[in-house]
């Protein structure tokens, strides 16, 4: 009789544990592709949903290093993968760099609605037109 009870408890426990290992919350990140050619971002206007994870794929098709930076933006779960450089004076809240012909990625979740300016921090590039707008809605 006691042995039977132990078996029932064991089966119930296994059922509960496996019930918790269903899909992870949050789901897949939205992939956003952005390319640089001829000292310009394409597209130069980006739109994202607040609270939704995004993977920004930054593809540099020019022959010099570029980056994409936003000085002030509230983001969470930020993971930056790209070429390291220290051209920017202060560390931007969001940054991804890619050397000539390379691709960098940054994953993040925007936390606040707003309109943000993104630009390339390499000296002279912003003035040459490497600037765009990110809208979080
Ligand atoms: Cu640049």
The string of pLDDT tens digits covering residues 48-98 is 999 999 999 999 999 999 999 999 999 998 888 888 776 666 789 999 999
Across all residues in the chain, what is the average pLDDT?
Answer: 85
pLDDT digits (tens, 9 = 90+) for 16-28: 444 443 344 456 8
From the CA of 86, how far away is ligand 1's center (Å)? 13
Going from the C-alpha of 37 to that of each of 43, 48, 97, the distances in angstroms are 11, 23, 14
Average the pLDDT over 33-46 and give the result: 96
Cβ-contact 53, 26 below 8 angstroms: yes
Model pLDDT, residue 10: 54
From the CA of 32, how far away is ligand 1's center (Å)? 19
Q: Which helix (H) or strand (E) holds 19?
A: helix 2-20
The model's pTM is 0.76
From the CA of 125, how far away is ligand 1's center (Å)? 5
């Amino acid at each position: 009789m006691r042995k039977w009870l132990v078996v029932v408890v064991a089966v119930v426990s296994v059922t509960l544990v496996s019930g918790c290992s269903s899909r992870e919350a949050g789901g897949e990140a939205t992939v956003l592709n952005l390319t640089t050619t001829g000292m310009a971002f394409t597209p130069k206007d980006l739109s994202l949903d607040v609270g939704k994870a995004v993977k920004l794929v930054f593809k540099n098709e020019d022959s010099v290093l570029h980056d994409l930076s936003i000085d002030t933006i509230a983001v969470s779960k930020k993971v930056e993968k790209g070429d390291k450089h220290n051209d920017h004076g202060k560390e931007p809240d969001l940054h991804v760099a890619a050397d000539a012909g390379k691709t960098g990625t940054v994953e993040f979740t925007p936390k606040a609605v707003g309109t943000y300016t993104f630009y390339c921090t390499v000296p002279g590039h912003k003035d040459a037109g490497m600037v765009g707008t990110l809208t979080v809605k």
